[in-house]
Amino acid sequence: SQQGEEDPQALSIQEGENATMNCSYKTSINNLQWYRQNSGRGLVHLILIRSNEREKHSGRLRVTLDTSKKSSSLLITASRAADTASYFCATDVRETSYDKVIFGPGTSLSVIP
Amino acid sequence: GAGVSQSPRYKVAKRGQDVALRCDPISGHVSLFWYQQALGQGPEFLTYFQNEAQLDKSGLPSDRFFAERPEGSVSTLKIQRTQQEDSAVYLCASSLFVGRGTDTQYFGPGTRLTVL
């Protein structure tokens, strides 16, 4: 089962434009993370935002979190062809002895040069 | 490099064969996760190890799936009597600490399993 749902499923933009991806989740969380996956590769961690934070920046990435709406967004500014990848949000669910991380289905981003 | 490695990268099996997938986590990482990723989907949790202890195997789809990490480092995911629905990419990830939600998971490149 997947806790998060990304929206849109696929996004195609021109190089230089901004890309916005959204993630909604179902249960209360402690943290939300975004990961990127290039074709045929493993996932790479991008950024983490805690439940008591509303916005976080890292380079060209901006993440927002609205716990009242159980949603998060990832904004990539001034996109580049190298940003072409799938992007996944991941939320943690407290288990007995550890925090299980659950990934959403992802948004496939294509940046056209 | 010192990242997570997985082998083989690609595996083709005939239905009914047994397969073994290997994961070498980053040295010193306490936590190790296995995920199954179907085409166009996000990783689905399979199992979690804290050192050599398998603390959660709730995501394993059936008793044909078995994972071990006997010395707390290298892990093997074994699938017995493979079925076509087992075809997927199997991802391994490790993290430094004992499975906290703030931990960064470092992923290997995955093993793409195709069952004919």
In angstroms, the CA B37 to CA A41 distance is 12
Structural domains of chain A in order of their starting residue, each with its CATH number: 5-112 (2.60.40.10)
The predicted-structure confidence for A3-57, as pLDDT tens digits, reads as follows: 667 888 999 999 999 999 999 998 888 899 999 999 878 899 999 999 999 999 9
Query: In this complex, do A43 and B105 lie within 8 Å of one another by their Cβ atoms?
Result: yes
Cβ–Cβ under 8 Å, residues A24 and A35 = no
Contacts B101 to A, Cβ<8 Å: 29-31, 92, 94, 99, 101
Q: Give the rounded percent of residues in chain B with a pLDDT score beyond 90.
A: 90
**Nearest CB to A105 within list B41, B91, B99:** B41
**Token pair 């074994």: residue:** B78
With an 8 Å Cβ cutoff, is B101 touching chain A? yes
The dotted CATH code for B13-95 is 2.60.40.10
CB nearest to A42's CB, from B42, B99, B107: B107
Tell me which residue has tokens 């995911």.
B77
- Residue B85 tokens, joined: 């629905």
Domain ranges of chain B: 13-95
Indicate the DSSP class of residue B111.
E
Q: Is A106 on the interface with B (CB under 8 A)?
A: yes
Question: If you measure CA to CA, which chain B residue comes closest to A105?
Answer: B42
Confidence category of residue A1, pLDDT binned at 50, 70, 90:
very low
Cα gap A69→A29, rounded to integer Å: 12
